[in-house]
Amino acid sequence: MERLPRAFYDRPTLEVARDLLGRTLVRMCSGQRLSGRIVEVEAYLGPTDPASHARHGETSRAAPMFGEPSYAYVYFTYGMYHCLNCVTEGRGSGTGILIRAVEPIEGIETMRQMREVRGKPVSEKRLTNGPGKLAQALSIDLELNRADLVEGPDLWLENGEPVGSSEVATSARIGLTHGRDHPHRFYVKTANVSAHPKY
DNA sequence: CTCTCGATGCGCT
DNA sequence: GCGCATCGAGAGA
């Protein structure tokens, strides 16, 4: 399967977000392919977006989003979770897209082990149905911050199978206190896996 | 299913 | 010090 090219990311963020649905997220983990079908994302639109980490400008944490598109922005939050974004648009935009949920494809048993490190067995549906969960399942942490999604050896996106408009829905973004006024969350209605029971 | 709450560490005002 | 782009446990319906 072919990787998405650099130009894929170098477009308006909302356009890229919609286009990310159905693509395959691939993580090479000690020689093994772990992968999933992207079914939920959220767009973060730069310094003017009150919900974005870029809202205070190019701070050290948000800096990757101000760099070249097609690189990863990984951040650590709530003292214990990591979340994966891909950087979009041109250098200086401060924009990115949070990957919120994938359907596991390859390496399901490894993902299960990663997720069971503490706690009880995890059903396949709950393996990767949330940004913190999929990062844990795919062993994504700060080492992958700024990773090159086009040429890098550890993390990338493949064409997958784009989903048609009839399968796509939008909503407000999840877990925010500011910036809930725009439908910047995109998800696949028919997905096996949902990061939000309400939708 | 729903809701609430605590864990836990860091970025930023 | 405050507030998180989160998650899981526990309680209730």
For A81, the 3-state DSSP assignment is: strand
- CA–C1' gap, A174 and C4, in angstroms: 13
Alpha-carbon dihedral angle through residues A53, A55, A58, A63, given to the nearest 10 degrees: 20
pLDDT in tens, chain A (199 residues): 899 999 999 999 999 999 999 999 999 999 999 999 999 999 999 999 999 999 999 999 999 999 999 999 999 999 999 999 999 999 999 999 999 999 999 999 999 999 998 778 999 999 999 999 999 999 999 999 999 999 999 999 999 999 999 999 999 999 999 999 999 999 999 998 877 767 7
Give yes or no for a contact between A49 and A30, defined as CB atoms under 8 angstroms apart.
Answer: no
d(CA A166, CA A189): 9
- CA–C1' gap, A9 and B7, in angstroms: 36
d(CA A181, CA A98): 17
Long-range contacts from A164-173, C-beta under 8 angstroms, 24+ separation = A167/A21, A168/A18, A168/A21, A169/A199, A171/A199, A173/A42, A173/A51
- Strand C interface, A 22-81, C-beta < 7 A: 42, 44, 51-54, 62, 65, 73, 77-81
Give yes or no for a contact between A37 and A22, defined as CB atoms under 8 angstroms apart.
Answer: yes
Nucleotides of B under 7 A from a protein CB: 1-2, 7-13
Residues having Cβ less than 7 A from any atom in strand B? A 53, 56, 59-62, 76-80, 197-198
Predicted local confidence at residue A80, as pLDDT? 97
- CA–C1' gap, A18 and B2, in angstroms: 30
Amino acid identity, residue A23? R
- CA–C1' gap, A119 and C8, in angstroms: 9
Please tell me which residue lies nearest to nucleotide B9, judged from CA to C1'.
A79
